[in-house]
Structure 1
Amino acid sequence: MPLVVTLPRNATALDQAGPYPRALNFMSRKQTAVQRQLRRSGLAGYEPLTQATLMAVAHRAPEGSAVYDVGAHIGVYAALIDAVYGRRLSVHAFEPAPQTSGICAAIRDINGLGFEIVRSAVSDTPGSAELYLSLKAESSNSLNAAHRRHTESVTVPVTTLDDFTEERVALRPHLIKIDVETLEGQVLAGSLRTVQQHRPWIVLEILPSSDHESLARSLKAVTELGYGLYPIQAESPWIGRHPENYRTHVSSHGRDWLLAPEPLTYDFHRTMRTWLRAILECDERTNLELPGGSSFPAGWNAPYSLPTVPRKRSLKALVRGQRRPVPAT
């Protein structure tokens, strides 16, 4: 049964980036854990604070910048950013698992999106590695054999963000999202040249079970380059944390952090909150679930657009409009 998920309507984004689709077809309501979550709660129940942070950073990106979604799974974040900002930015989704990367490609293609899918894991050393397929859910697949119980693994290629960026000399990464199930420190370690040269914003999942020895080293290296380290939360302004004591603020509930290359401003928080309000409007009641074989209703993904506002006339024009012709005598 197809699942259509409504996208958040943000007038500021429409004004900056132009019209974008009002919904995306995620194809199935139960094939993966992520699709099941979207069916139950829409985008409002799928890490809304992280979504809003990513969209706020993407909104600020210079035209022609790149976005890296590392650990993209079926590509929810890549699809959302590409749907709204794809005319201005290039989006690259890294997903090594054959099944989920295949679903990601199908979702991209059926919605006519243009983001690139890189079927590779990301770490600190290029080559190949075993990806362990979790018994809990495919969203918990990891290069870390100890992360979840598993019955099988698959050999996948591995790249680093430094290598990927240097091979694509035209890329200027502005935003990197990292969700790799406990090995975030290794991904950061393999991106330090990119961080130093391009100074991207980084949204990073940190789990209680992460490899904190590696992660602490990488966070220290990034903060020494002038980055701030902020837990993502609903309240603002966010409070920066020091890499030496970040673990005291890690929990299973608030898992995502922002590594910011510059101080956070009121404008950033306002943009993030605007996106958050729009995302929270997109709950399960706004989903469209179609019985198999049914036709999609007309206009299901018609683009949002700004309402037409009458152009303001200058005072001089208003005065001219009030003048009456002098009657002939």
Structure 2
Amino acid sequence: MTADAHTTWRTALDRRARGGVRERLRHPVRTSFPTTGNLRARRHRGIGGSSTALTFWGQRMTIALPEEVSISIHRHGFVDYDLTAYLLDHLPSGATVLDVGAHIGYYTMLASALVGPQGTVVSFEPTPSTLSVLRENAARRPNTTVVPAAVWSERDELVFHDHGLGYSAYNSAFQARLPEAVRVRLPSNELKVEAVCLDDYVREHGLVADFVKIDAESAEAHVLSGMRGMLAIQRPTLSLEVGDLDVAGAPRSRELVDTVLAAGYRAWELRRGQPVPHVPLAVYGYQNLIFTPAGRKDG
């Protein structure tokens, strides 16, 4: 990615985020449920299908309406201003990126564009409905590989809760990360999915990761357990989704933060896309934290 392209893309992102949209879209999946009564009814009935949208950097992307990440991309061209802006500023050409919980592929496509033809993006997504959309998007990016699996602490087969395309951002081996009043009304089907661990995967494929994005819907502790070797030796930068929603069987976010800090990392929170030193909290609302190996000057 050239300096001119970076400036153009950052200008486009900030233009889309202007006028208060940035804060409103901090994470639309978590903060805008439901978008409208009509969309809520359509999601509950499983009505929807694929469409296309234009990302803020000008690339066509397959989306899955009325799923809410897709709505955000369709309306605004991006999801989560803070993490998007951070990647624009910190993900270099030629980097190797692992996208854990790739969903329909927004961050996969953004990372692919940023790292360029000399870089590599590997995307992990287990749910068939979102996997099909992700594959369509990844097919346009020759530097991208899709792995049809969840990421876990070891190679395994998991029972996954599939909430349909409209609620696919919440598919998980755990309960949906939503308030209980919403959770009980979700459609849900169980399916078995393959799971891999990152230490095994990078060893078997000869990869050295520079950046790992983790959005694993309450499985973050398992993901971290399965990449202990990477944290000790490869030392990639991480983005980690946190947020305490009292999901049965999932540790509180503070435990996740402490796990990464104990591996010799520093924690950063994002403010308008810029990393600021993070002081661990007892309880977390939704955010993406950045972790860099101790010794680096900044995030």
Aligned residues: 241
| 1:38 paired residue number | 73
Tell whether 2:268 aligns with 1:230: yes
Of 203, 208, 215 in structure 2, the residue corresponding to residue 172 of structure 1 is 208
Larger radius of gyration: 1
| Structure 2 CA distance for partners of 1:31 and 1:241, relative to 1, 3 Å | same
Tell whether 2:292 aligns with 1:260: yes
**Alignment check: 8 A CA contact 2:275 2:290 kept:** no
- Taking the aligned partners of 2:120 and 2:192, their CA distance within structure 1 comes to 28
Q: Report Cα offsets for 1:19-49 as digits up to 9, x if no partner.
A: xx95211135726432221112222xx1010
Which protein, 1 or 2, shows the higher relative CO under an 8 Å CA cutoff with sep ≥ 6? 1
- Taking the aligned partners of 1:69 and 1:48, their CA distance within structure 2 comes to 17
Q: Report Cα offsets for 1:186-236 as digits up to 9, x if no partner.
A: 111111111101000000001212666375555334212320122222285
Report how far residue 13 of structure 1 moved.
9.0
- Taking the aligned partners of 2:176 and 2:163, their CA distance within structure 1 comes to 10
Percent identical? 22
- Taking the aligned partners of 1:41 and 1:212, their CA distance within structure 2 comes to 32
| 2:146 paired residue number | 117
Of 67, 82, 86 in structure 1, the residue corresponding to residue 112 of structure 2 is 82
- Taking the aligned partners of 2:219 and 2:65, their CA distance within structure 1 comes to 28
- Taking the aligned partners of 1:92 and 1:79, their CA distance within structure 2 comes to 11
Q: Aligned with 1:73: secondary structure?
A: coil
Q: Report Cα offsets for 1:95-137 as digits up to 9, x if no partner.
A: 001111111111222x344300011001112110011012661
**Alignment check: 8 A CA contact 1:57 1:175 kept:** no
Aligned-pair Cα RMSD in Å: 2.9
Of 166, 170, 174 in structure 2, the residue corresponding to residue 140 of structure 1 is 170
- Taking the aligned partners of 1:37 and 1:127, their CA distance within structure 2 comes to 33
Report how far residue 68 of structure 1 moved.
0.4
Tell whether 2:165 aligns with 1:128: no
**Alignment check: 8 A CA contact 1:186 1:214 kept:** no
Of 79, 90, 93 in structure 2, the residue corresponding to residue 57 of structure 1 is 90
Of 186, 189, 209 in structure 2, the residue corresponding to residue 152 of structure 1 is 189
Task: Name the structure with the higher strand share.
Answer: 2
| Structure 2 CA distance for partners of 1:146 and 1:82, relative to 1, 3 Å | closer
- Taking the aligned partners of 1:263 and 1:48, their CA distance within structure 2 comes to 27
Q: Which amino acid aligns with 2:238?
A: I
Which consecutive unaligned segments of at least 5 residues does structure 2 have?
11-55, 178-182
- Taking the aligned partners of 1:220 and 1:22, their CA distance within structure 2 comes to 35
- Taking the aligned partners of 1:223 and 1:68, their CA distance within structure 2 comes to 20
Q: Report Cα offsets for 1:254-274 as digits up to 9, x if no partner.
A: x111111135647x6xxxxxx
Query: Could you tell me the TM-score, scaled by structure 1's length?
Result: 0.65
- Taking the aligned partners of 2:7 and 2:274, their CA distance within structure 1 comes to 22
Query: Could you tell me the TM-score, scaled by structure 2's length?
Result: 0.71
- Taking the aligned partners of 1:97 and 1:79, their CA distance within structure 2 comes to 18
Of 10, 13, 20 in structure 1, the residue corresponding to residue 6 of structure 2 is 10
**Alignment check: 8 A CA contact 1:9 1:22 kept:** no
| 1:73 paired residue number | 103
| Structure 2 CA distance for partners of 1:116 and 1:154, relative to 1, 3 Å | same
Of 277, 280, 283 in structure 2, the residue corresponding to residue 239 of structure 1 is 277
Q: Which amino acid aligns with 2:143?
A: G
| 1:198 paired residue number | 234
Which consecutive unaligned segments of at least 5 residues does structure 1 have?
1-7, 15-20, 269-329
